[in-house]
């Protein structure tokens, strides 16, 4: 869309692909739906992102771009039905202060990667996210869309042909392309390309810890923040290939392709490349529902260690000093696993799933774990076992290993409004986002604080904002938050009153080390 003549020029910026016009709202300037790569559709489906072709004139940047193809009522709640879905989803958004300062000042930049188990979500899920952060702390905030589901996170290289080449780690490659766009263009929005902090939550945090070990991402960000990263959810090609085969079988059943032979590379490639994106999303949901029971403790949508783009398992790269040696904030919430039940029961919370994990461990270490989760596999201890297995212990390993080479600041988020505690969720997975980004005007945010605790929760969020933005500006979150080192393991606990604890949950940490030494 092109602008009419006479539009105020101060909201028009020049990028390497063309001019953009943003909008102004209460102390911030916003540009939305900016293409950072070409549409990965047609011949570019299952290919690494290509440069955006650009445009003539001035492009309207007042609305979010289409969300990646996803199901609304699948395993996770996807984007609202009224939001357009398209493979042409590789866009990002920029929010900058509108305080009269010249754009060339060079403000800290914070690039946020959304979560959603690599299957749902978008950068516009909470349309005003980041605005208060920008208005209050003067940073430039960037959010982005990337390919989801089978289009971004399954490894179909076994079906690659000369006519239909297929690559892997496409969602990660999209994120690198977005960071490259930021590097080239963010100065026009008032940001400093040499002072970029990459942050994400859940799957977005897994992206952060993984990108810290991707060679092509080196130099694209100076600091990192990983909130509740399932840091070990990165798999070998053999495991990823098994999921790809399962997916092809599921998809052939949906499209009723009785002629498809499982060994026919050409037929499978043709089906994958021709299928409607929403049919691909339907098959993705079917696969992700099966995975927790067929392969407990794993997540089928995940990065793959391909030996090239992602050469090493991230936790091994952290151990061996091969990760980018950047300052890192990393942590988890108090009870990560309490959220994952019902339709989103993807963690090892059931008796058969827990038994499958125990089968691969030593008898002595099993006894120690059972003692620390009394009542296992009852609902509450099972949720805590699964949350610690998926999020907390891998996060501890990432922190301790990276702390040998670069500054690390470790946290635990314990704050929870009264409603969350009454529901038995406590400080569960994703709760900190409502505090950090002040999502109190959303339906969920309002409900969480309906029975009290909003003031406490808001104040915790404001303290997090100060730490996060100080870190983005300088690489250190503040003198009251000491660095994490393997000796004392000092951890900042966010709660009604914040506190620093030395090696919290030490007994659990040692028990998990014996239980899953391979992590």
Which residues are part of the catalytic machinery? 202, 336, 429
Beta carbons within 8 Å of 417's beta carbon, 6+ residues apart: 448, 449, 451, 452, 453, 454, 456, 457
Could you say which DSSP state residue 368 is in? H
Burial class, 134, CB count within 10 angstroms (exposed 0-12 / middle 13-18 / buried 19+) = buried
The answer to whether residues 208 and 229 touch, using CB atoms and an 8 Å cutoff, is yes
CA dist 383 → 159, 177, 304, 307, 338 (Å): 38, 36, 27, 34, 5
| Rounded-to-integer distance, Cα 405 and Cα 325, Å | 6
Say if residues 126 and 442 touch (Cβ distance below 8 Å): yes
Among 341, 466, 443, residue whose Cα is nearest residue 80: 443
Of 119, 116, 64, the C-alpha closest to 92 is: 64
CA atoms of 150 and 75, how far apart (whole Å): 14
Q: Can you tell me the distance from the alpha carbon of 418 to that of 203, in angstroms, rounded to the nearest whole number?
A: 27
């Amino acid at each position: 869309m092109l602008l009419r003549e006479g539009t105020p020029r101060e909201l028009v910026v020049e990028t390497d692909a063309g001019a953009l016009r943003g909008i102004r709202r209460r102390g911030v300037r916003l540009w939305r739906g900016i293409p950072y790569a070409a549409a990965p559709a047609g011949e570019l489906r299952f290919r690494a992102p290509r440069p955006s072709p650009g445009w003539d004139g001035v492009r309207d940047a007042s609305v979010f771009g289409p969300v990646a193809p996803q199901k609304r009522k699948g395993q996770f709640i996807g984007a609202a039905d009224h939001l357009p879905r398209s493979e042409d989803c590789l866009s990002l958004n920029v929010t900058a202060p509108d305080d009269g300062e010249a754009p060339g000042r060079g403000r800290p930049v914070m690039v946020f990667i959304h979560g959603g188990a690599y299957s749902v979500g978008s950068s516009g899920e909470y349309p005003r996210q980041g605005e208060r952060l920008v208005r209050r702390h003067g940073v430039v905030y960037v959010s982005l869309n990337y390919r989801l589901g089978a289009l971004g996170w399954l490894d179909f290289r076994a079906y690659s042909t000369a006519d239909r080449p297929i690559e892997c780690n496409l969602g990660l490659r999209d994120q690198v392309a977005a960071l490259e766009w930021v590097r080239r263009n963010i100065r026009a929005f008032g940001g400093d390309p040499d002072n970029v902090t990459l942050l994400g939550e859940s799957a977005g945090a897994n992206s952060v810890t993984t990108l810290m070990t991707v060679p092509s991402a080196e130099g694209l960000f100076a600091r990192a923040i990983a909130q509740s990263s399932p840091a070990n959810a990165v798999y070998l090609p053999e495991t990823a290939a098994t999921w790809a085969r399962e997916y092809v079988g599921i998809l052939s059943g949906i499209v009723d392709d009785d002629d498809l032979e499982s060994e026919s590379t050409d037929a499978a490639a043709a089906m994958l490349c021709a299928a409607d994106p929403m049919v691909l999303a339907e098959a993705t949901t079917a696969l992700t529902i099966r995975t927790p029971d067929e392969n407990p403790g794993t997540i089928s949508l995940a990065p793959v260690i391909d030996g090239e783009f992602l050469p090493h398992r991230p936790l091994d790269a952290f151990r061996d000093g091969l990760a980018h040696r950047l300052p890192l904030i990393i942590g988890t919430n108090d009870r990560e696993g309490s959220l994952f039940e019902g339709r989103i029961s993807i963690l090892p919370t059931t008796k058969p799933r827990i038994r499958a994990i125990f089968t691969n461990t030593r008898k002595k270490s099993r006894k120690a774990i059972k003692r620390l989760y009394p009542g296992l596999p009852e609902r509450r201890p099972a949720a805590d076992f699964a949350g610690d297995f998926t999020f907390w212990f891998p996060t501890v390993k990432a922190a301790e290993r990276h702390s040998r080479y670069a500054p690390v600041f470790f946290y635990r988020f314990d704050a929870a409004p009264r409603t969350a505690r009454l529901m038995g969720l406590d400080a569960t997975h994703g709760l900190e986002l409502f505090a950090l980004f002040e999502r109190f005007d959303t339906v969920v945010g309002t409900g969480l604080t309906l029975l009290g605790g909003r003031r406490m929760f808001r104040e915790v969020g404001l303290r997090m904002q100060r730490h996060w933005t100080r870190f983005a500006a300088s690489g250190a979150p503040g003198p009251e938050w000491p660095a994490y080192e393997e000796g004392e393991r000092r951890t900042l606990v966010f709660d009604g009153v914040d506190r620093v604890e030395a090696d919290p949950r030490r007994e659990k940490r040692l028990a998990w080390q014996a239980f899953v030494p391979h992590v």
